[in-house]
Chains A and B, each alone.
Chain A
């Protein structure tokens, strides 16, 4: 949909982009974590697999990406998928070899 809409709307000067968060501590994420037998252990397992800093992405970091895409500072960016996720989805090769 991102690319179809971006293609359809480019002649109208409208840009369409997608932001794809991965591991962000939100109220719903917190609730999901608490449903696990060992929430602290589950969180540690997840953060260990996030190359940049072994930490969760903050909601502010997602908001900064979205607001940048809404602004003229990204005026020639359209039809893109952005992954502000500390490398979680694409960079597992950056993890220590134990992973």
Chain B
């Protein structure tokens, strides 16, 4: 089944390991170009596998809670690839912050898991919408639609 993802530029937060790593690899197998934003450097074996599937993939080592760093990564993506077709807000972790944890721990949890989803969508939406061809009335032409996906909840695992 052709997914019509050839040469689509897809940002994947936390896309260097875990579920996010699997998403990046599968995008590459489908001919898309994953742009990974992550806190940690890529593991060499993962980077090698991804490079063999998609030599042009991009990686930005950023703290997702740092809005300026996210904005810079998005700007560099736009400069290098000319646009963004989709965003996968994958990064996050189940930190088990419950009612006993208190306000500051809760706010930290929101910063680590939720706020960057908004920030990334805010930064990417203009380009994604500009490249979208999903019509309100007719099916899209193959390979020209744009969309965003996000994962607001990620029980006990991360990207």
Q: Do A and B bind each other?
A: yes
- List the one stretch of A19-27, A47-55, A90-98 in contact with chain B: A19-27
Is A12 interfacial (CB 8 A cutoff)?
yes
Enumerate B104-125 residues with CB–CB distance to A below 8 Å.
117-118, 121, 125
Instruction: Decide if B3 touches A73 in the complex (CB within 8 Å).
Output: yes
Secondary structure of the B side of the interface? loop
User: What is the interface size of chain B, counting residues whose CB is below 8 A from a CB of the partner?
Assistant: 51
Closest to A88 in B: B155
**Which residues in B have some Cβ–Cβ distance to A below 8 Å?**
1, 3-5, 8, 10, 17-19, 21-23, 25-27, 30, 32, 86, 88, 90, 93-94, 117-118, 121, 125, 128-129, 132-136, 139-140, 142-143, 145-158
Is A9 interfacial (CB 8 A cutoff)?
yes
Instruction: Decide if B143 touches A67 in the complex (CB within 8 Å).
Output: no
Given A26-B157, A72-B4, A75-B134: A18 touches B149 (CB 8 Å cut-off): yes
